[in-house]
Structure 1
């Protein structure tokens, strides 16, 4: 009888404990997406989206807004607006408005990373315009704009048209003197959210945008790829545009640095790309080996020309988001590298891009 009474007491305690945990969970405001904007008075506008877990609630999220001097202060202000205990352990995305990104986000990235409850894999995204306004807006049929943006970024990053930039990756590149960070850009397009391209940074400041259609070209010259899609416009033929849709591509990148003396360098970036042609609007027959070889050369030239223009623009604004500085650094001694003002040398170096494109297969095209 005594054993039965003991077991009953233990079960009662366990049930009470489960009930207590349930109440605690319901009292938590688990932030999933936060936005940050710089106001004219130099204060920070922070908007956080907290999912509403009540299935009977007519709304699916609660928005918390605060103007503060720091991210940590904003969280304290949030506590005065809700009956929930606001926590950031479920944070998935951070959205930075254009004005703040141009002013610099390094300190804010560092603040987020110092929070032990914030995961290193939280995404960093730039919003063209006001990030808070975008996060606060509702886009039908999506009930939660934060999740909508998360899924959009995840889908696009699979094809490598935009980088998957996390807090850790941004901080790593920001603190590396041989490469600059990059992050995806999104924009409110009225009835939906659009991927606008890639934001390139000089240190922690947003200085240049690569259009979405050129995102894959940037990715090919930044790192090796195992998956991706690329559309190439080869001009017109008999008044008709010639478009090639290149899919299932994989690539390898090689960078060689040549020291020319007196702080002068030349960098050769070579990529080898192979993939499948899913669409071809030209009039040639892809079954002919000569035609395929000619098409490979035309695609290679188009990719090379686009890459050269991207690098020219990058050198103008002094952003080394391709990481050429890493290879220059590896070719020098520590003393030579530390005495070199890479930020000033970089715009003057000669960079040559080389692309070799191979068509693995062309499906049912004749």
Structure 2
């Protein structure tokens, strides 16, 4: 009898605990995206996107957007709290968005404020918006239930195949403070009822300097990091073909002799899965390997030249030189030699097998 009473009390407490948790969640305003728009040199607009869970079952969630102007990014949060019917909670924040106009003036103070919030996880994505953050968030998109879900899914799946794998709040802070490599972030743009990745935003420190288009992002990824399971389409002898399961291994080697230079060695492996109208003989595969090596090398050199002309270093070439030659003054190298440093991009490609060819 006593055991039955104990188990009965335990069950009541357990159910009560669940009810309390549910009530707490219903009594807060969960923020899924926090964004900032530029107003003028003294004013910034903070925007939050918050999901509204409907009371009726099997009804998709809606989004409520709040916006407030203030002189500092931190004060926008206080003003937004004044408009929200419930206390705002950032514990489930998925992305931070900054307009390009704000990024031109530097986003470090705003990013720092967010990074100091202990409730935020390490995987909050950062992105730049070419246009108005408020207009992007205050819209319904037929391809996704909420703008927050749309942005998060867009960044997540592209980081596997196209975009660099590090674009979070904490990696941005690490790059800015410790790594010495200029940060890069996705550049988003709204086109009617779609959100698209326009390219990669390039930074000098925390200031936006320009971007590389989406079509060049994969080659940048090849230059920047080793990865597996990529896909690339290019043209050979008038035919388009697709290489999948593309793996890249990259090494940066600084040669400090009478004529210092940086050599970026890239090894690509993959298989051809689609090559309409092409007969894939051993000779033709060798032509494809050479052509892909030439294409990536040429585009890679073009990107490096662009970075040097803009005086941005998203590949961390100065850091690499400094890690090999300890006596080098990295700040001096960055200011005096980076823009004129000769850079070679050497690519070796191996087609390991071919798939079904139409």
TM-score between both structures, scaled by the size of structure 2: 0.91
Give distance in 1, aligned partners of 2:162 and 2:320: 23
Summarize the Cα distance change of 1:141–1:254 in structure 2 as closer, same or farther, 3 Å threshold.
closer
Give matches, 1:105-144, under 5 Å. Answer: 105-144=107-146
Residue in 2 that maps onto 1:243: 240
Aligned positions, number:
356
Summarize the Cα distance change of 1:339–1:200 in structure 2 as closer, same or farther, 3 Å threshold.
closer
Correspondent of 1:350 among 342, 352, 356: 342
Structure 1: stretches of 5+ with no match in the other structure: none
**How far did 1:126 drift?**
1.2
**How far did 1:340 drift?**
2.3
TM-score between both structures, scaled by the size of structure 1: 0.90
Would the aligned equivalents of 2:318 and 2:333 in 1 still touch at CA under 8 Å? no
Summarize the Cα distance change of 1:15–1:207 in structure 2 as closer, same or farther, 3 Å threshold.
same
Give matches, 1:164-183, under 5 Å. Answer: 164-176=166-178, 178-183=180-185
SS of equivalent residue, structure 1 residue 175: helix
Tell which deviates more after alignment, 147-156 or 66-75. 66-75
Residue in 1 that maps onto 2:279: 285
Give matches, 1:206-221, under 5 Å. Answer: 206-221=208-223
Give distance in 2, aligned partners of 1:15 and 1:331: 61
Summarize the Cα distance change of 1:10–1:347 in structure 2 as closer, same or farther, 3 Å threshold.
same
**How far did 1:214 drift?**
1.1
Would the aligned equivalents of 2:322 and 2:330 in 1 still touch at CA under 8 Å? no
Residue in 2 that maps onto 1:276: 271
**How far did 1:2 drift?**
8.7
Would the aligned equivalents of 2:319 and 2:330 in 1 still touch at CA under 8 Å? no
Tell which deviates more after alignment, 34-43 or 44-53. 34-43
Correspondent of 2:255 among 249, 255, 258: 258
Give distance in 1, aligned partners of 2:343 and 2:224: 14
Residue in 1 that maps onto 2:34: 34
SS of equivalent residue, structure 2 residue 332: coil
Give matches, 1:11-160, under 5 Å. Answer: 15-56=15-56, 60-160=62-162
Summarize the Cα distance change of 1:344–1:106 in structure 2 as closer, same or farther, 3 Å threshold.
farther
**How far did 1:232 drift?**
1.7
Summarize the Cα distance change of 1:83–1:253 in structure 2 as closer, same or farther, 3 Å threshold.
same
Would the aligned equivalents of 1:162 and 1:184 in 2 still touch at CA under 8 Å? no
Give matches, 1:298-317, under 5 Å. Answer: 298-317=291-310
Would the aligned equivalents of 1:277 and 1:363 in 2 still touch at CA under 8 Å? yes
SS of equivalent residue, structure 2 residue 104: helix
Give distance in 1, aligned partners of 2:196 and 2:95: 16
SS of equivalent residue, structure 1 residue 188: strand
Q: Deviation per CA, 1:7-30: give whole Å up to 9, x if none.
A: 766665555444333222100111
Would the aligned equivalents of 1:163 and 1:184 in 2 still touch at CA under 8 Å? no
**How far did 1:72 drift?**
2.6
SS of equivalent residue, structure 1 residue 216: helix
Would the aligned equivalents of 1:38 and 1:45 in 2 still touch at CA under 8 Å? yes
Residue in 2 that maps onto 1:200: 202
Structure 2: stretches of 5+ with no match in the other structure: none
Give distance in 2, aligned partners of 1:350 and 1:176: 25
